[in-house]
Amino acid sequence: MKSHHMITEKFKFKIVCSLTRKTIHSLKVYGVKTTWQRIKYRKKDIKSAMEYNKTPLFSDAELEEQRKHVFPKNLKFSIIVPLYNTPEVFLREMIDSVLAQTYGNLELCMADGSDDEHPEVEQICKEYEKIDSRICYKKLEENMGISGNTNACLDMVQGDYIGLFDHDDVLHPAALYEVMRAICELGADYIYTDESVFRKSPKDSYLYHLKPDFAPDNLRANNYICHFSVFKKDLLDKVGKFDPECNGSQDHDMILRLTEQAKKVVHIPEVLYHWRAHGGSVAENVGSKPYVFKAGIRAVERHLKRQGIKGEVGLVRDDVTIYRVRYELEGMPKVSIIVRNLEHKLEVNKCIDSIIDITTYKNYEIIILDYERKKDALSDYYQELQKKHSNIKVIKNEEKQNTPIVFNVGVKNCDGEYILFLDCNTKIVTPDWIQEMLMFSKRNDVGAVGSMIYDSNNNICQAGIGIGLMNLTGNLFRGVDRNHVGYMGRLLYAQNLSAVSSSCMMIKKSVWEEMEGFKTEYSANYYDIDLCLRMRKKGYLIVWTPFSQLKYLKREANKKRKSRKIKRQLTIDENLFRENWIEEIKKGDPYFNPNFAKNREDFFLNKSPVKWEIR
């Protein structure tokens, strides 16, 4: 049997090799600037993790109080763990973490597929079996693979709820107690928590995965839910056991199937699961198990088929288990692109020209909203445009009208089934930008769709909007290099968010009419976020996609000081938005974990953990 020291030294060497490969690859593909920013952000991540580690989630006194607490239900949890040649130190730490739970009505079901060269696995488990009756151990006649071994665990289950647990990881002592809260107070039948990655001990965790609340588009793109997952036994009876054809991504496949059937999915925003990183674990090196890529694609494809959704699934990149779903577009519905020339900007011609020159989608019209003006160069440009292109029209508005009113007028004058609001100070980058938004907008469960917009320095300006950040709202990832993968890869895939900006926002016209358009009480700000929140209240999802990209044209070098009138209007809009959405702001953004610092837009940890409040 290898000593823990030997495992650690070998692992350190693998870490150095892995980091070197990743750095060289980044330099070749993205250049020095992006690579340096990635290194800088990673150093900040590790530094903030070290600070976060200093404060325990619960004190010893709080854990003791949890042990004394009596819940209105007496549910039994079955923690299932497939074993395979598990190192002794890992195995003992895993078992001890289960037995240390402050909620004690549990069983630990372990099915052991270890080979003959690792008899110590059986010896250790039987040792624990004698000490604690909650330990259930079964030695398998042969190793049946991860899915087969896990299914053998399921055959042992006697509990009301099942928890998925890996053989080399560690549970926080309060994990089951917090899950019981979710069940008793919220009626949850599927629960998941946040997690951290560590090497020696959870106290030295160097990476924290702080997750959003349930987000179906995120889950199709990657298994962000992962650990710690707990679900009602009744759900398993509906969806069946683990599928060997999805080995490597068997958890992703199972989670997709379970959440399809679940009535109440609850996310506990606390780090209650600790994932051990070592040379053979996916936590450290997904390349250690290359078959997971094909298995993950298969899992998402099957999910789409069960949901009756047509689409193709592929990898975003060949080094990460993140997937891109291209939903099938049937027909070619008309899209009305509504562009407002806010300040008589001559740049509007660059915006319009980029649409005409680059866009591959053919069935669209452009509605240009402009103020009444004396004849000038821009007026000539408009006349020439309308002569050349029958799908372009210009609508004049009085200067005193506010932005929501002008946009609402624009929609009344459009013919499309889909509306696409666009900032006149942008130019199109991806030729299929409309298709990338339309594939989401066509879905019945989607309200608004937004795009990535970056500036001339390749820094992100728009990648979705968070509620309750920066005192009110924040532009996620603002200032981050557009080639950065983002926190836990979040800049690589389409996902659900609370809001997107009208700088580039697509909405199905029937949904727009249902929501009665933008609220005209707003002058020039927050009207788009307000609309998104109203959609969410009606049950619609908001989607942001990085595969539709635009670039802001160079802004005036001077950003002159805002006039008193503009400042006053901004304050009025802020106050109105705060008044309308005070409860949502207090509750916090469901897609922005409460353990992130709210005074930043780039997903950095708070200085210490925030306890979960049920509201």
Q: 482-518: buried (b, 16+ CB within 10 Å) or exposed (e) per residue?
A: bbbbbbbbbbbbbbbbbbbbbbbbbbbbebbeebebb
Angle at 499 between CA 493 and CA 502, to 5 degrees: 100
- 218-248 pLDDT, tens digit each: 999 999 999 999 999 999 999 999 999 999 9
Are residues 541 and 533 in contact, defined by beta-carbon separation less than 8 angstroms? Answer: no
CA-based nearest residue to 408, from 543, 521, 565, 550:
521
Question: In 495-540, at which residue ranges do the beta strands (DSSP E only) sit?
Answer: 495-497, 504-508
Longest pairwise C-alpha distance within the chain = 92
CA-based nearest residue to 369, from 423, 326, 333, 319:
423
Average pLDDT, the chain: 91
- 373-385 pLDDT, tens digit each: 667 778 888 899 9
CA-based nearest residue to 193, from 221, 168, 172:
172
Bridge partner list, 609? none
pLDDT at 41: 75
Q: Which residues contact 260 (CB under 8 A, 6 or more apart)?
A: 239, 303, 306, 307
Residue 343: pLDDT above 70? no
What is the C-alpha separation between 59 and 458, in angstroms, rounded?
45
Bridge partner list, 156? none
What is the C-alpha separation between 110 and 270, in angstroms, rounded?
26
What average pLDDT does this structure show over 326-342? Answer: 94
What is the C-alpha separation between 139 and 111, in angstroms, rounded?
6
Q: Give CA 205 to chain center in angstroms.
A: 21
Instruction: Please tell me whether the peptide bond between 407 and the residue prior to it is cis, using omega within 30 degrees of 0.
Output: no
CA-based nearest residue to 595, from 109, 194, 186, 132:
194
Residue 29: pLDDT above 90? no
Bridge partner list, 448? 507, 542
- 240-279 pLDDT, tens digit each: 999 999 999 999 999 999 999 999 999 999 999 999 986 5
CA-based nearest residue to 286, from 313, 253, 317:
317
CA-based nearest residue to 247, from 292, 301, 304:
292
The encoded tokens of residue 235 equal 């759900």
Please report which confidence band the pLDDT of residue 145 belongs to, taking 50, 70 and 90 as the band edges: very high
Residue 483: pLDDT above 50? yes
pLDDT at 20: 61
Bridge partner list, 496? 543
Rounded to two decimals, the pTM is: 0.92
Stretch among 44-48, 127-131, 216-220, 472-476 having the lowest mean pLDDT: 44-48
Bridge partner list, 192? 229, 267
- 49-78 pLDDT, tens digit each: 999 999 999 999 999 999 999 999 999 999
- 417-462 pLDDT, tens digit each: 999 999 999 999 999 999 999 999 999 999 999 999 999 999 999 9
Residue 8: pLDDT above 80? no
What is the C-alpha separation between 559 and 556, in angstroms, rounded?
6
Are residues 329 and 346 in contact, defined by beta-carbon separation less than 8 angstroms? Answer: no
